[in-house]
Amino acid sequence: MDLLEYQGKQLFARHGVPVPTGRPASTVEEAVAAADEIGYPCVVKAQVQIGGRGKAGGIKVAKNREEAREHADAILGMDIRGLTVHEVWIEGASEIASEYYASVVFDRSAKAPLIMLSTKGGMDIEAVAEEDPEAIARLHVDPLLGFQDFHGRRLAFDAGVDADVVRPVGEMLSKLYGVFIEEEATLVEVNPMIVTPGSAADGGGREVKALDAKVTLDDNALFRHPDNATLRDLSQEDPQERMAKERGLTYVKLDGDIGILGNGAGLVMSTLDVVDQAGGKPANFLDAGGGSKAEAITSAVEVILSDPKVKAVLFNIFGGITRGDEVAKGLIEAFYQIKPKVPFVVRLDGTNDKEGRQLLADANLPNVVTESTMDGAAQKVVELANA
């Protein structure tokens, strides 16, 4: 579950991570009131779960009340890369001497949290990793040992941060790691992590703050964090993925036009590959799960067909605990309820596959073709989609 920036910052604040003062607003009047309370200059920031807000005009500095109103009115309702802005975050403007990048992510290959730090903050970190990989210091943390003070010092020295902020940068990384572990996140990212002007030499004592917050929480752990579960922003979620989640289906939307349904993640992944090899483009990943009943199949068909780009659908079922006749009954019921306008290719194999194919034959559903092999089914569905 991805959080909006202000939700991530509120989470940070609970763990002692220094963040600028701010308030969320969903109307122009609320934004102006928040700006008056925080003071000027302030920043009006669009709240959407996507990068590139600044380039799209979603981040503006307001020097007075009139500008705050003008910026809030322009940003609320704005479309940023397909996402509509429903909220803004009003934040006190920060003085910036340096911009760093910091993140904690779970590295599945190493089976350990990975902490990254770079002095090239405020930039696309993927571009930095490609153009200058040495600019990013990396360190895996033993989950049993946890984050230690020397980890922060090592990362700071490896990244080349200014000497007077080595300690506060280390403290920031320690707190971000605490957010990552205690909130059961899969990603905690700050870009940029800013260093304020001043220096220890002149008594200024420079500070390190999180000017942005990108947090992804583990959906599977939300039952242990009921407060975090309430942060889900349904308006930012894909409507098909939200529908599937409500029906207990594992669904991921893709960019193609061939709907995919299988039982078991491995089989669905293989189906995506076979369709791609046949020259098609999958529109989704949908795993109906083992032991899929007719009701689940009907729900799956509704989810797949809710995507207007879908031109054909491939059912690839290998029966173990899933029975072919139950799948056939679900598809027949779906056709009676939904009356699909696109062709279906069905490959049934395994438990009760003959019974399932017989049910489909007896039902004589329009636009339903059965195939005996995965390759044959993939080629047929690509042919039908192209037609």
Dihedral pair phi/psi, residue 132, rounded to 5°: -145, 70
Question: Hey, which residues does 190 pair with through a beta bridge?
Answer: 102
How far is it, in rounded angstroms, from Cα 75 to Cα 312? 39
How far CA 34 is from CA of 6, 19, 22, 102, 302, in Å, comes to 14, 17, 8, 29, 43
First to last CA, the chain: 38
Burial label for 216, CB within 10 Å (0-12, 13-18, 19+), is middle
Tokens found for residue 66: 């009139």
Residue 25: strand, helix, or coil: strand
How far CA 97 is from CA of 21, 117, 162, in Å, comes to 19, 17, 11
| Catalytic annotation, residues | 101, 189
